[in-house]
Every structure is written in C-alpha cells, then in structure tokens.
C-alpha cells in the first residue's frame, strides 16, 4: 500500500497537494464563522453532480423539454429527488452567496491585499445568478417561460446593442427550439466551465493570503484538517438537510407546459429576483425608462460593490461599505416583502396562482391517460381540454354579463378598481344575466321552477327591455309564483325530483352524473304532460306552453307555442345552437338580448365551452 | 493579518488536538464529509440506473400481432416474404401509434404451417437480406449466412435465425409473437 502511494506521489506530487489542501494554517483556531465559503463550494458540487445526472434525461426542445422534465419528475426512479436537490440547492446557493458577501464586507476581508479575490468573488456571483436565470427556463413551463421572457426583454432594452443581444440569447426573434438549446449550452457548459475557472482562481488567491481572522490570539492556531473540516462538514450537513427537507415536503415545482398563446397572470421571477420585479413596478421607476431600473441602477450598485476595496483604504470608507451593504440588504428584503405583501392581498393574483396550480395538476391527469403525451407536446393536451379552456372562454365571453357560482368561471371576482374619495377600492361588477354555475343540473331546474324570479333576478340590471320581458312581464315568472304553494308541500318534493330528473335527462349531461334512475325519469315525464303531483295538480302544466321531443322518442309532447322548446334542453347540441344564435325563434326570438356567439367563437372554442358547461370531460 | 502564511504551511508546528477528542474529530470530519458528498451522488446514480431498476408496464394481450398478410397469399415452399411489424411503441413519455418496430421473414412450408424469422441478425443485430439466387439468408455486416430453415451456414453467427411463435387464426390470419433476442449469445434470450 505504502509502496503504491509512494509510486503515485513520486509521479504526481499528490502528497504535497493533499498536504496543502488539508493543512492550511488557521490562526486563532477553527470557528463556525468560517464555514460559509465551504458551504458554497458544497452547493456547487451538488449542482454539478445532480446536473450531470439530470442532463442524461433532459431533452432541450420546445416539444420535449417540459415532457422530459415531467418524465424525470413523475416516472423515473428518484427523479423527483435529483431534480429537487438541484432545484433547492440552487436557491440555497443564492442565500449562502448573500451571507458570504455580507461577511466578507463586514469583516473587511475585501481590503488589501485581497482586492483581487473580492473582485473574483463578484464575478462568481454574476455567474451564479446567470446559472439561476438560464436554469429557470429549461423546464419550459409557464412559470419559467414568462419569467424568462421578462429577462430577455430587459436584455433587449440595453442601450445600443439590446435587440442584437436579445436575438443572440433567444436564437432568433422569438422563443423556440434554439432558445432552449442556447440556454441549455449556457447552463450546462459555458457558465459552469467559467465558474470552475474562476472558483479555482478564487480559492488559490484565498489560500495565498490565508483566512481573514478577526482575533488571531483568541486560541492556539490549528490546521484546516480535521477541526475546521469537521465544522464545515456539519454546516454542509445542515444545508443538505434543509435542501432534502424542501425536496421531500415541498418538491420542485413544474407548472403547466409553456404556452405563448395562454396568458400567465401568475408570472413572477424566482424569489431572489422579486425585489427587482417590485422595483420595476414603481411608477416613478417606470417613468425613467426600463433601462434605468433594470440596467443602470443595478449596474451602479455593482459598480459600488466593485469599488469597495478602494473605499476600504480609509477607515471611513470601510464604514461606508458596511452601511451601504446593510442598506442594500434592507432594501432588497423590504422590496421582496412588499412584493409578497402586494401579491397576498391581490385577489386576482391569488386566483391566477390557483389557476396555475390547477393547470399543473390537470396536466398530470391528462398526461397519464393511455395515449400519454402527444408528439406535438403536452401543451396541446391543455389546449384541447374542456376543463382547462371552458372556464377561460367563459371568463372572456360570458362573464361580462353572467357569473359562474358568483365568479367569472376561472375563480376570479368580476370587479373593477374605482377611486372613491381619493382612495382606490375594489368594486364588484353587477351581473346582468343569470349565474350559470349550476346550469342544466337538477338544482338549476328546481330554481327555475320554484323561484324563477330569484334565478333570473340579475336580468333586472340589464336594462328596461330585458327587465320587462324576462322579469316583470315574464309568463314563466308568473307561473313560478302562482305555483309556488305546491312545492311547499313536503310530499311534492319527490315529484319535483322526478320532474327535474326528466328535464335534466333531456340534455344528456355527462357530469355531475345525474342520479337519474329510469323510473324517476318516467314519472317525471308523466308529471310534465299531466301536471299531476303527489299532492295536488299543476294548474297550467308544462306542455301547455312548452313543446318537447323526449330523448330517444319520436313523439313531440305539447305544442310549440310562445315558450322556448325544451327538446334536448341544456344539452350539448341545444347549448351550441343557443350560443350560436340565441335570438332564433326556437329560443328567445325577438326578445333576445344576448349576443350571438356563432361568429365570435370558432367551432372549436364553442365545442370546448359547451363540453365544459355540460360536464363532458374526463 | 495581511502576511501570507502559505510558505509556512508545510512545516507548521501548531498544536493538533491530541488524544480522544482529536481522534473523534478525524473520524467525524471524514464520516460527515463523506456522507454529504455521497447523498447527491447516490441519488443521481440511482436515478441513472432507472432503466435497470424500473418495472416496465406490461403490454396488453398475449403479445401476438396480426400481420398484414394472409396464409393464402403465401406460396407453399415459395420465396420468403419480408413483412414489417406494425405496433404501438412507447418511447419514454411518448406513445407512437402503429409504428414499424421491426421486420420478419415469412415462409409457408405446408398448407397450414408458416415459419417466421426475426430479420435481426443474431450476430450483432444488423438486418439480414435474402438472396434468391442462393436461396439463403445473408447478413451484409459480417457475412453470416443462414439456410431457408434458419440454420447457420458458417461460424460467424452464434446461432441460427431467431424463429418466432406463430399462430394461424380464423384459417387465414397470420399472428406472430414479435420479440427481439440478445445478439452474440448461443442461446435465444429475449430482450425484455
Ligand atoms: S451482424 Fe450480421 S453478421 Fe454481424
């Protein structure tokens, strides 16, 4: 054994190298305060190891990036763990970097003769931030996509060469395959290689000048090994435990696949850039132009950091540096806090976050179906999914008048910000048409029958003509009112169940699965034509005004008269025809006040909206 | 503390923590240091070994595929027919419907018997040609040759062509259990 070691040492000088690495002199003894640099090297090591393994399964293109990350996260052995380690170590690195920098400034470790090493450190910091930025895009999910768009737009705002820079980074005028290949190359080759080079220099120069010791006479000096190594190792263990904890309990996020045609209102940069995001939101910053807030000012801060070793030659300069560092930290933490606070009290943002979360859950369901992820990418799954697109179409097209369980379909309130007595307040917009959250279900039908006035009450806000026809002078409203006493009789509850079961069966809704047993539907049909209830009798029965051709039958019940025909009521075909032309004689005729959507929405959009409303999706 | 220390590193003379505590420090430093390094590496390695560890989802059915050719279309003791195997193919996150996944040679040897060989050469996996003039199968890669019955005719391949299970259904349909086998081995070992 010894002979082998000697043989190797003879040829490589390994012993001396090991000795230099392990027996660095630490005056004043090993201390916890020296661990920060080592934890940074450690997190970088985690990134290199997990990064190489992730690269064995990642595929950078717009139709495979998200898909391969999804596969890593959900199907590959320990994929969640490796990705989680990579994801959270990156964030730990940012935090440790800030601590390391603060300590260097406070301890005055940047002063002569360590100026060059301080500058090397600042370069390393830029590289680490660059790694974070490029890595954020690679999963090609909505979150990364829209956050990175902001970064490249800022790049485009650089004076003189901005547009060229942006195109070079993106690999073209828009995001596409080459944006990913370029970001990937930056993230896994160019930046890490540069980082390693500068890290070697940083550590070599650090070793040359030795550790910065505030009070060398505190305790007898020791060597780096084993006392300081032990402290460093314990610190790394704490970092690892934190990262593992986050990985296990929180998990690396993967939002829905990037879709340039789908707005992402939950877009935010990675949390450590939130301060800059918040800063750019101030109106006075906006007035100075994007380049000021996003380029000149951060540039100025970096310049001051760079100049610290020069200021540090004077005692006062050192105090200035510390004060500046603290002010910057307070500013960053304050702005970050403000950003979080603003988001927390913004219901629209909260709804957007929830929607983003729902989408990321929904895509899992869609991707796990037998056909899996189509070749054109997972994004098409969401684009063709009624449950995803229905609410959005509703919000854009229906919510200006209707509501869906009180909201706009996507969970957002329909509200506007108004200034009242100089204070901005949120005011809910009044609905001018019915709430369609339960449309076509038995519950809805019961509402129409037993309390028409309440169900259609919002129409009173839609102007005189509509109010007159649909509320004040509505025959159905009168009917509902004059027959109300029947429904107060307990025994008739079942009759109402049967009648509405029959009516709901006409639409053929898919979900919520109507509890329509055939017998109930049959009894309901009887009530529809005869008006006979368990107790009493409907004076003017349904067929006196409505006509209806029951599903699967050839005979038409009742005669088409003044009231809308109920054939296939609230079903997919009925709803599609209705949306296309609500003013058709079969529906509201000349009393109609609803816009026709036949030429506003494409067939595909109509189909998605209708399928969502009748519950026809998996 | 601006004085460089590196020159004195080699012959430093500071006090080592001696005895029990010093020993513990050595052991703990090595153990914890090793552990924190091992965790990311071991996780990554387990991830990398995914193809070996993970259970693949079993295909549905008995593994037989119907070929786009009928028994009648084949002449008894005629020339072998090359037919592509069309199957669904799962590739990581994608499922490709009806893709050519391989090819087989068919030869009818009796009115109700068809012999089917996988086109893959058992030597190193090239596609085997049929030579009508010599009435044998021939691999262009390293000149393996096989008779019409699939038996090897020289010593280059480790075994004869891989015969596949066939079932004739409804009198005319040819169904084949399509499998690939490991190259280079004298025995037929299916590739999972
Ligand atoms: S692969 Fe066919 S002869 Fe080598």
Residue B49 to chain A, least CA–CA distance (Å): 8
Residues A233 and A285 in one domain: no
Label residue A200 by pLDDT band (50, 70, 90): very high
Instruction: For B154-169, give the DSSP string.
Output: SSSSSS---B--EEEE
Residues B70 and B134 in one domain: yes
A349 in a structural domain = no
CA dist., res. A105 & res. A566, Å (int): 78
Q: Which of A433, A415, A432 is nearest to A424 (CA)?
A: A415
Label residue A258 by pLDDT band (50, 70, 90): very high
Residues A89 and A142 in one domain: yes
Radius of gyration of chain B (CA): 30
> A198 — phi, psi (to 5°)?
-70, -30
CA distances from A344 to A276, A337, A339, A347 (A): 18, 10, 9, 8
Residues B100 and B158 in one domain: yes
Instruction: Please tell me which of the candidates B1, B26, B95 has its beta carbon nearest to residue A213.
Output: B1
Instruction: Please tell me which of the candidates B14, B36, B50 has its beta carbon nearest to residue A76.
Output: B50
CA dist., res. A100 & res. B137, Å (int): 70
User: What is the token pair recorded at B119?
Assistant: 């086109």
Identify the pLDDT of residue A513. 63
Chain B partners within 8 Å of A85 (Cβ): 40, 43
CA of B191 to the centre of ligand 1 (A): 18
Using the Cβ of A18 and the Cβ atoms of chain B, whether some distance falls under 8 Å is answered with no
Show the CA angle centred on residue A368, arms to residues A367 and A370, nearest 5°: 105
Chain A partners within 8 Å of B4 (Cβ): 208-210
Burial of A75-110, coded b for 16+ CB within 10 Å and e otherwise, reads bbbbbbbbbbbbbbbbbbbbebbbebbbebbeebbb
Identify the pLDDT of residue B56. 61
Residues A190 and A41 in one domain: yes
A353 in a structural domain = no
B83 in a structural domain = yes
B192 in a structural domain = no
Residue that has been written with the tokens 């169940």 in this structure: A497
Among B16, B35, B57, identify where a domain stops: B57
CA dist., res. A21 & res. A23, Å (int): 6
> B107 — phi, psi (to 5°)?
-145, 130
Residues A411 and A455 in one domain: no
Identify the pLDDT of residue B59. 53
CA dist., res. A468 & res. A56, Å (int): 69
Residues A34 and A172 in one domain: yes
Is B109's C-beta closer than 6 angstroms to any atom of ligand 1? no
Is B141's C-beta closer than 6 angstroms to any atom of ligand 1? yes
Mean pLDDT of the B20-39 span: 90
The mean predicted confidence, pLDDT, of chain A is: 91
**Domain residues for B11?**
3-57
Residues A69 and A199 in one domain: yes
**Domain residues for A134?**
27-267
CA dist., res. B139 & res. B178, Å (int): 20
pLDDT in tens, A286-321: 888 888 888 898 999 999 999 999 999 998 999 999
Residues B88 and B154 in one domain: yes
CA dist., res. A76 & res. B50, Å (int): 6
Do the chains contact at A49 and B2, CB–CB below 8 Å?
Answer: no
Among B20, B41, B57, identify where a domain stops: B57
Residue B73 to chain A, least CA–CA distance (Å): 34
Burial of B1-33, coded b for 16+ CB within 10 Å and e otherwise, reads eeeebeeebeeeeeeebeeeeeeebbeebeebb
Residues A378 and A454 in one domain: no
A7 in a structural domain = no
Do the chains contact at A27 and B1, CB–CB below 8 Å?
Answer: yes
pLDDT of A367 above 70: yes
Label residue B85 by pLDDT band (50, 70, 90): very high
Complex ipTM: 0.86
Q: Number of folded domains in chain A?
A: 4
Residues B79 and B162 in one domain: yes
Residues B163 and B103 in one domain: yes
Identify the pLDDT of residue A515. 63
pLDDT in tens, A146-199: 999 999 999 998 889 999 999 999 999 999 999 999 999 999 999 999 999 999
Among A234, A252, A267, identify where a domain stops: A267
B182 in a structural domain = no
Q: How many residues does chain A have?
A: 618
Residue that has been written with the tokens 């195109």 in this structure: A167
Q: Number of folded domains in chain B?
A: 2
B112 in a structural domain = yes
Residues B79 and B161 in one domain: yes
Question: For residues B124 and B183, is the Cβ–Cβ distance under 8 A?
Answer: yes
CA dist., res. A449 & res. A136, Å (int): 54
Q: Return the SS3 of B138.
A: strand
Burial of B93-125, coded b for 16+ CB within 10 Å and e otherwise, reads bbbeeeeeeebbbbbbeeeeebbbbbbbbbbee
Identify the pLDDT of residue B19. 63
Chain B partners within 8 Å of A244 (Cβ): 39
User: What is the token pair recorded at A143?
Assistant: 């979150």
CA of A521 to the centre of ligand 1 (A): 70
pLDDT in tens, B153-173: 999 999 999 999 999 999 899
Angle of helix A386-397 relative to helix A347-367, nearest 10 degrees?
150
Alpha carbon distance, N-terminus to C-terminus of chain B: 66
Residues A45 and A165 in one domain: yes
Is B127's C-beta closer than 6 angstroms to any atom of ligand 1? no
CA of B114 to the centre of ligand 1 (A): 25
Residues B81 and B140 in one domain: yes
Mean pLDDT of the B20-46 span: 92
B118 in a structural domain = yes
Chain B 84-123, CB below 8 Å of chain A: which residues?
A: 90, 92-97
Among B23, B40, B57, identify where a domain stops: B57
Using the Cβ of B14 and the Cβ atoms of chain A, whether some distance falls under 8 Å is answered with yes
Identify the pLDDT of residue B8. 40
Among A378, A401, A428, identify where a domain stops: A428
Instruction: For A262-278, give the DSSP string.
Output: S--TT----GGGHHHHH
Residues A69 and A132 in one domain: yes
Residue A222 to chain B, least CA–CA distance (Å): 6
CB pairs below 8 Å between A and B: how many?
141
pLDDT of B55 above 70: no
Residues B108 and B165 in one domain: yes
Using the Cβ of A264 and the Cβ atoms of chain B, whether some distance falls under 8 Å is answered with no
Residues A285 and A255 in one domain: no
Residues B72 and B122 in one domain: yes
Residues B93 and B135 in one domain: yes
Residues B149 and B86 in one domain: yes
A355 in a structural domain = no
Residues A177 and A303 in one domain: no
pLDDT of A62 above 80: yes
Residues B141 and B52 in one domain: no
Question: For residues B87 and B99, is the Cβ–Cβ distance under 8 A?
Answer: yes
* Range picked from A11-20, A188-197, A206-215, A439-448 for highest mean pLDDT: A188-197
- Give the CATH number of the domain where residue B104 resides: 2.102.10.10
CA dist., res. A393 & res. A604, Å (int): 11
A503 in a structural domain = yes
CA of B120 to the centre of ligand 1 (A): 9
Alpha carbon distance, N-terminus to C-terminus of chain A: 67
Residue B43 burial (CB < 10 Å; 0-12/13-18/19+)?
buried
Residues A44 and A165 in one domain: yes
A361 in a structural domain = no
Residue of B nearest to A66 (CA): B93
């Amino acid at each position: 054994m010894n002979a082998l070691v000697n043989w190797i040492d003879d040829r490589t000088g390994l012993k001396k190298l090991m000795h230099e690495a392990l027996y660095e002199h630490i005056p004043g003894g090993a201390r916890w305060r020296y661990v920060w640099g080592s934890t940074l090297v450690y997190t970088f090591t985690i990134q290199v190891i997990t990064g190489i393994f992730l690269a064995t399964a990642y595929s950078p293109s717009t139709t495979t990036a998200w898909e391969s990350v999804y596969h890593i996260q959900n199907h590959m052995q320990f994929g969640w763990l490796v990705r989680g380690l990579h994801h959270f170590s990156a964030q730990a690195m940012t935090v440790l970097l800030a601590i390391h920098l603060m300590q260097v400034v406070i301890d005055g470790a940047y002063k002569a003769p360590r100026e060059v090493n301080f500058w090397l450190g600042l370069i390393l910091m830029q590289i680490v931030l660059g790694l974070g930025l490029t890595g954020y895009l690679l999963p090609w999910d909505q979150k990364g996509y829209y956050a990175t768009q902001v970064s490249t737009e800022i790049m485009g705002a650089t004076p003189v060469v901005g547009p060229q820079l942006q195109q070079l980074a993106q690999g073209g005028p828009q995001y596409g395959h080459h944006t990913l290949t370029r970001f990937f190359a930056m993230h896994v080759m160019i930046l890490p290689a540069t980082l390693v080079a500068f890290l070697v220099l940083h550590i070599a120069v650090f070793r040359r000048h030795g550790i910065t010791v505030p009070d060398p006479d505190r305790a007898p000096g020791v060597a780096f090994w084993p006392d300081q190594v032990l402290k460093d190792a314990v610190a790394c263990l704490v970092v690892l435990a934190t990262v593992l904890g986050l990985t296990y309990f929180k998990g690396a996020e993967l939002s829905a696949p990037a879709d340039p045609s789908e707005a992402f209102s939950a877009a935010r940069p990675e949390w450590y850039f939130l301060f800059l995001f918040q800063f750019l939101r101030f109106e006075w910053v906006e007035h100075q132009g994007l380049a000021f807030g996003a380029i000149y000012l951060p540039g100025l801060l970096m310049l001051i950091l760079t100049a610290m070793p020069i200021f540090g030659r004077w005692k006062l300069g050192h105090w200035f540096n510390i004060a500046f560092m603290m002010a910057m930290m307070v500013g960053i933490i304050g702005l970050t806090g403000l950003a979080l606070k603003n988001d927390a009290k913004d219901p629209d943002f909260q709804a957007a976050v929830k929607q983003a979360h729902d989408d990321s859950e929904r895509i899992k369901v869609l991707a796990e179906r037998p056909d899996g992820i189509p070749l054109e990418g997972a994004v098409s799954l969401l684009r063709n999914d009624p449950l995803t697109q229905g609410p959005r179409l509703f919000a854009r097209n229906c919510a200006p008048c209707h509501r869906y369980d009180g909201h706009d379909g996507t969970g957002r309130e329909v509200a506007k910000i108004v200034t009242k007595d100089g204070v901005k307040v949120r005011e809910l917009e009044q609905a001018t048409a019915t709430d369609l959250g339960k449309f076509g279900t038995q519950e809805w039908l019961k509402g129409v029958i037993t309390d028409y006035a309440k169900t259609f009450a919002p129409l009173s806000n839609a102007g005189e003509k509509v109010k007159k026809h649909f509320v004040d002078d509505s025959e159905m409203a009168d009917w509902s009112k004059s027959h109300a006493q029947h429904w107060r009789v307990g025994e008739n509850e079942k009759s109402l169940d049967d009648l509405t079961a029959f009516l709901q069966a006409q639409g053929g809704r898919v979900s919520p699965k109507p509890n329509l047993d055939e017998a109930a539907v049959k009894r309901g049909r009887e009530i529809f034509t005869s008006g006979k209830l368990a107790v009493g009798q409907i004076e003017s029965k349904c067929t006196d005004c409505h006509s209806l051709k029951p599903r699967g039958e050839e005979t038409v019940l009742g005669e088409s008269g003044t009231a809308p025909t109920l054939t296939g009521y609230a079903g997919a075909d009925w709803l599609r025809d209705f949306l296309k032309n609500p003013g058709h004689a079969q529906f509201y005729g000349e009393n109609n006040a609803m816009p026709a959507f036949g030429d506003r929405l494409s067939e595909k959009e109509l189909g998605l909206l209708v399928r969502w409303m009748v519950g026809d999706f998996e | 503390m601006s004085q460089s220390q590196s020159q004195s590193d080699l012959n430093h003379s500071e006090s080592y923590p001696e005895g029990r505590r010093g020993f513990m420090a050595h052991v703990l430093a090595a153990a914890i240091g090793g552990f924190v390094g091992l965790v990311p590496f071991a996780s990554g390695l387990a991830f990398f070994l995914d193809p070996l560890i993970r259970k693949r989802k079993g295909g549905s059915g008995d593994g037989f595929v119907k070929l786009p050719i009928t028994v009648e279309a084949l002449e008894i003791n005629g020339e072998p027919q090359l037919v592509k195997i069309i199957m669904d193919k799962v590739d990581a996150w994608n499922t490709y419907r009806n893709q050519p996944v391989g090819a087989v040679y068919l030869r009818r040897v009796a009115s109700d018997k068809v012999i089917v060989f996988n086109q893959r050469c058992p030597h190193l996996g090239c596609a085997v040609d049929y030579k009508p003039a010599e009435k044998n199968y021939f691999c262009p890669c390293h000149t393996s040759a096989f008779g019409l019955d699939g038996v090897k005719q020289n010593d280059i391949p480790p075994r004869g062509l891989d015969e596949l299970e066939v079932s004739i259904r409804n009198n005319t349909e040819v169904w084949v259990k399509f499998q690939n086998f490991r190259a280079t081995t004298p025995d037929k070992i299916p590739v999972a």
